[in-house]
Structure 1
């Protein structure tokens, strides 16, 4: 597929529980994506164990090419038995996308929502009985602007017994998503709107674990990041012109780089003392630039956020709702499909101060670490050094 598969997920824990009983596992490779969502029986620690085991087993076995019947049999014989109900139980939904071919497997979760150009489209599903379980399968092709939304029953039950007597209901969620898709294009925004609406219906006290995964087919998204000043001063204007000429969002990292951009463009660099996070310098503003940040400290923190995000399997987007410069940079880079780094090699004397931590002296090393993390996420990264 020539377009990009955008994906985001978010969860709400049942009120009073430290762990979510729903689990999500995402596998992304070149031209391939798999998303697995499992809902464990009950809530809390037991449900979390059930759902985590399910997502890991299902995603690993299917990714290795196992037959669906073998996967279901393995899940049934692996999960621990619930002493209260004497059943080993976890529902699951799997969406695998290979190029533009989609295969959906559903077991006892709410049916997925499929939208073509923002309009709901019914999926033809076939029922396959494996043991005593009814599994529904469907296959179809994805096109630009198509969207798939996977939800646990916490979404369908949102507001039950409170704002809505019978809960939100599947058809109501469908109508809500159609309206949301008219306004928002990115998976992150769609998912955030859906999960926060659920939280509002629950009056901020979810009565069930609530999870949504949004998969959206979008055009490629380009971002250009200028980091630091060029090693030769006579290249300042050339680099800034290259930054402004490139398509997509534009980011400038580093105080000296920001001054160069402001001078070349004849625009003011507006600083702020609004320290949202005392460990991360605040962003600045230049007209025509989407984000302006401090350099090494912000980049280092952005690397840390990406590491946490990858280690937790593209974790819950609600973790990244902060407004500090590093989180904003993370969101922009995570949003991108193609990232072009313009890396200046001039030495910042402050970073060579022996009183600074050693990792602050090596800007290039931090940038290269960030580039490697972005490539792990399947992004196309181009680097130019000046």
Structure 2
């Protein structure tokens, strides 16, 4: 069983600091996924160095086949010593998920990771392991499709200390919040932002500690094929349409001329919708066997705009960008970000006569750059993206 791990992580910096003392390192390989969340001692530059070294060393060594003992021993002998406290210190959480769904979890001094099976918080059996005088909790368990794993730093637990809450948010309350907000439609990024928005509120917009959330949902592989624009050589029309139709997974067609080609080659009727969900986005169409048919460049530009709103992180962007509207750009963004796990673009390079009209914006001729920019945004979310030109 080959799986895709939909992962998102976000951080709030301690108020007044330019660098975050927490660091998340992600490694994706063909046979496993690895996430390391490290929390450096203190805050600012020192904490950033400690957490960066810790996460990078652990992720690199484990990805290369080293044991946890070897990684921790390396960290103990590598981390710089804090001149004020006389210790080199960084907590960490390691989550490794094999293609089979087997999860390996190692935790050192970070809040306990939350595991949700069928959207229900499920206890994890933890065993103690002593390495270099440090007590590390180790867990192995079998996860299934749609399960969620949530790790966070102690800045989340301490949210509100000295402000709205005397003792902070506290771990049990955080777990309760996750329970209340969990359902099969919640994405990792949505959950991260919901949690951190609450953390920011409890800190009254002035976080007293670096706060990081890393959420992972296990998904089955679900590819998406997107045909954009007619081929430069019309003799290739059938070749490209066949590639679209015979590929597994979701299918999207972008462009008026492109949709006409697909309709002609497949013999399926093109049914153009006349309702405008959003005046700024052209209406969609329908072709049997195609999951979404949209206009071309205008819709792609809007999709890229939505995607950037969705993927950009930071304290000013904690409000979740809703993808529940039905216009073509929102639906395309939702398919790319939430419904598929990998994307293959079939990009035709024929010039569209409409784009040569002097009255049309010059940016309409930048279709190829739009596709490349979309690919970059999608890769930020961990998705595999490929582009084929015709």
> Normalised by the size of structure 2, how large is the TM-score?
0.75
Deviation at 1:73, TM superposition (A): 1.2
Comparing 220-229 and 186-195, the one that deviates more? 220-229
Match 1:379 to one of 374, 379, 384: 384
Q: Which residue of 1 aligns with 2:274?
A: 268
Structure 2: how far apart are the matches of 1:18 and 1:255?
Answer: 47
Contact 1:158 1:168 in 2 (8 A): yes
Q: Which residue of 2 aligns with 1:48?
A: 48
Q: Which residue of 2 aligns with 1:189?
A: 190
The 3-state SS of whatever aligns with 2:183 is helix
Is structure 2 residue 347 aligned with structure 1 residue 343? yes
Deviation at 1:341, TM superposition (A): 3.4
Structure 1: how far apart are the matches of 2:14 and 2:293?
Answer: 36
Change in CA separation of 1:186 and 1:373 when aligned onto 2, cut-off 3 Å:
closer
Contact 1:21 1:44 in 2 (8 A): yes
Q: Which residue of 2 aligns with 1:113?
A: 114
Contact 2:38 2:93 in 1 (8 A): yes
Q: Which residue of 1 aligns with 2:134?
A: 133
Contact 1:302 1:327 in 2 (8 A): no
Deviation at 1:267, TM superposition (A): 2.1
Q: Deviations over 1:270-325 (max 9, x none)?
A: 5978xxxxxxxx654437787957639967x959x99xx8xxxx9879599789x9
Contact 2:282 2:298 in 1 (8 A): no
The number of aligned residues is 364
Point out where structure 2 has 5 or more consecutive residues left out of the alignment: 263-268, 323-327, 358-362
Change in CA separation of 1:115 and 1:373 when aligned onto 2, cut-off 3 Å:
closer
Q: Which residue of 2 aligns with 1:212?
A: 213
Q: Deviations over 1:94-143 (max 9, x none)?
A: 00011211101111111101111111111111111112211111111111
Structure 2: how far apart are the matches of 1:250 and 1:319?
Answer: 30
Q: Deviations over 1:125-180 (max 9, x none)?
A: 11111122111111111112211100000111111222222111111111111111
Contact 2:228 2:296 in 1 (8 A): no
Structure 1: how far apart are the matches of 2:273 and 2:334?
Answer: 25
Change in CA separation of 1:155 and 1:360 when aligned onto 2, cut-off 3 Å:
same
The 3-state SS of whatever aligns with 1:182 is coil
The 3-state SS of whatever aligns with 1:179 is helix
Structure 2: how far apart are the matches of 1:293 and 1:90?
Answer: 50
Change in CA separation of 1:322 and 1:70 when aligned onto 2, cut-off 3 Å:
same
Structure 2: how far apart are the matches of 1:49 and 1:213?
Answer: 19
Contact 1:9 1:191 in 2 (8 A): yes
Deviation at 1:228, TM superposition (A): 2.1
Q: CA RMSD in A?
A: 4.5
Change in CA separation of 1:142 and 1:180 when aligned onto 2, cut-off 3 Å:
same
Structure 1: how far apart are the matches of 2:277 and 2:122?
Answer: 48
Q: Within 5 A, what are the aligned runs for 1:1-386?
A: 1-99=1-99, 100-182=101-183, 184-221=185-222, 223-229=224-230, 232=234, 250=252, 252=254, 264-268=270-274, 270=276, 283-286=281-284, 295=297, 332-335=335-338, 336-348=340-352, 367=371, 377=382, 379=384
Contact 2:76 2:132 in 1 (8 A): no
Structure 2: how far apart are the matches of 1:63 and 1:378?
Answer: 19
The 3-state SS of whatever aligns with 2:150 is strand
Structure 2: how far apart are the matches of 1:192 and 1:290?
Answer: 28
Structure 2: how far apart are the matches of 1:190 and 1:319?
Answer: 10
Deviation at 1:216, TM superposition (A): 1.0
Structure 2: how far apart are the matches of 1:29 and 1:151?
Answer: 23
